[in-house]
A = this chain, B = another copy of it.
Amino acid sequence: MTTQMEFARRGVLTEEVKTIAAAEGVPPEFVMRGVAEGRIVVTRNLVRREMKPLGIGEGLRVKVNANIGTSKDICDPDRELEKAKAAMESGADTLMDLSTGGDLDAIRRRILKEVPIALGTVPIYQVAIEAQEKHGAIVNMTEDDIFNVIERHMKDGVDFITVHCGITRESVRRVIERKRLLGVVSRGGTFLTAWILKNEKENPLYSNFEYLLELAKDYDVVLSLGDGLRPGCISDATDSPQIQELLIIGELVERARKAGVQTMVEGPGHVPLDQIEANVKLEKSICAGAPFYVLGPLVTDVAPGYDHIVGAIGGAVAAMAGADYLCYVTPTEHIALPDLEDVREGVIVAKIAAHAADLTRRRESSLSWDYSISKARADLNWEEQIRLAINPEKVRKIRELRYPKKIEEVCTMCGEFCAIKLLKEYTRAEH
């Protein structure tokens, strides 16, 4: 037995499961059962034993991921490490290193070494870049290239990897025929689509899925089944290529479970607000409760510069409907590589969405935060309000710049007409 899923199925309460249960405030048996049935994943590579394991899935706190990584245009590994640390400090539960510029192995290894939270990657990016360097074009990547890079990432300690196994010759044909407004917007999905079109062969991640499972099993790496055909705009949302891919992914989840390999499923994308719940319920049904990791969803296309907010609206609704894990979106999505401040804002806003959904579960651990800050508000206790705020620094700054002139216990919005202060005085006078 090597994977958490295998241990859980035999009824072994691992240290990992116990740690997760304690962190979540739920019984260890609950976590174990979830892991056994594939409704909860433990994201920790076997070679990364020093890191605290994280649970993602049904009945647990909604998690938040932050993407960082260099691009060809903006390539500063130190800066990306700073972003990774800032994301963790702002409350990101996991990171994904999506670097496409510079020494990719070195960047990934540095992050694994210096940032002690679960790390995911999309190995196909590196495969494509190396193919371009070695073989002159992305579409010249070989099957061996693909699996070699995947194994390299696993050996390094990557805790989960996105693999676009649901893109097949058949689904590529359908998406091309359908003439979507925005075709394929997933980078990894596009690399594989291009490869399939050029080579007229099946996607190796699909045709050699069993080999992928063997590798994943050796390191207990979670396979995050990527939605390469996710919609890239509102008018492509919840269309047949997207759902076709989901059906294939559902079959792969089943195969992975048979092999004792942990999986989660990635979801859209651009989705109108009233289709989000259906998307979540569909994933949970087709993929038999596998943890759902959503990218947004973005509920409108018209707000570049505000896509962190657009994604928070969608993410909150998705998580309320049962999504388990939100990939943050930054303010610069669709425009540019995020900078340090964009990463911070992206994480905090995604955490707001996750927490808003957690509140709907009415667990004491979620409710008590809101209760405490509101108690501080009722007491006009500013230091405590600031301390408990999701970003204390921001609150302190706003308050200091616009500090009340006369009465310290109120703020400059209502001043002496503060409802809380007035009611206190009048009810005190009454009793």
Contacts and interface: CB of A to CB of B under 8 A. Distances in A.
Interface in A286-323: 299-306, 309-310, 312-313, 316-317, 320
Contacts of A301: 370, 373-374, 377
A129 B416 CA distance: 10
Contact of A360 (B186, B273, B367, B424): B273
A390 B303 contact: yes
B336 A304 contact: no
A299 B356 contact: yes
Contacts of A360: 272-274
Interface residue tally on A, bucketed by range: 35 or more
B312 A309 contact: yes
Contact of A398 (B235, B305, B418): B305
Contacts of A320: 273-274
B194 A422 contact: yes
Interface stretch (A33-41, A214-222, A346-354): A346-354
A367 to B, nearest CB: 7
Contacts of A197: 426-427, 429-430
A26 interface: no
A241 interface: no
Contact of A423 (B184, B306, B348, B359): B184
Contacts of A235: 367, 370-371, 374
Contacts of A139: 426
A71 to B, nearest CB: 5
A398 B309 contact: no
A302 B185 contact: no
Given A359-B299, A426-B197, A391 B306 contact: yes
A209 interface: no
Interface string A115-128: 00000000001001
B128 A405 contact: no
Contact of A186 (B125, B190, B339, B419): B419
A353 B184 contact: no
A299 B417 CA distance: 25
A157 B353 CA distance: 40
A325 interface: no
A274 to B, nearest CB: 4
Given A233-B374, A399-B335, A420-B182, A194 B348 contact: no
B414 A100 contact: yes
A395 B194 contact: no
Given A312-B313, A374-B181, A402-B337, A305 B394 contact: yes
22 contacts: A71-B414, A72-B415, A73-B405, A74-B412, A183-B419, A184-B423, A189-B419, A190-B423, A194-B425, A197-B430, A233-B378, A234-B370, A273-B316, A299-B356, A302-B388, A304-B385, A305-B390, A306-B348, A313-B316, A333-B413, A335-B395, A336-B411
Given A71-B412, A72-B417, A191-B417, 18 more contacts: A71-B413, A73-B402, A73-B406, A138-B422, A182-B374, A186-B419, A234-B367, A302-B390, A304-B389, A305-B390, A305-B395, A306-B349, A306-B352, A309-B352, A310-B356, A313-B313, A332-B402, A336-B401
Complex A-B, nearest 7 residue pairs according to Cβ-Cβ distance, in ascending order: A233-B374, A336-B402, A305-B394, A274-B360, A190-B419, A72-B415, A299-B356
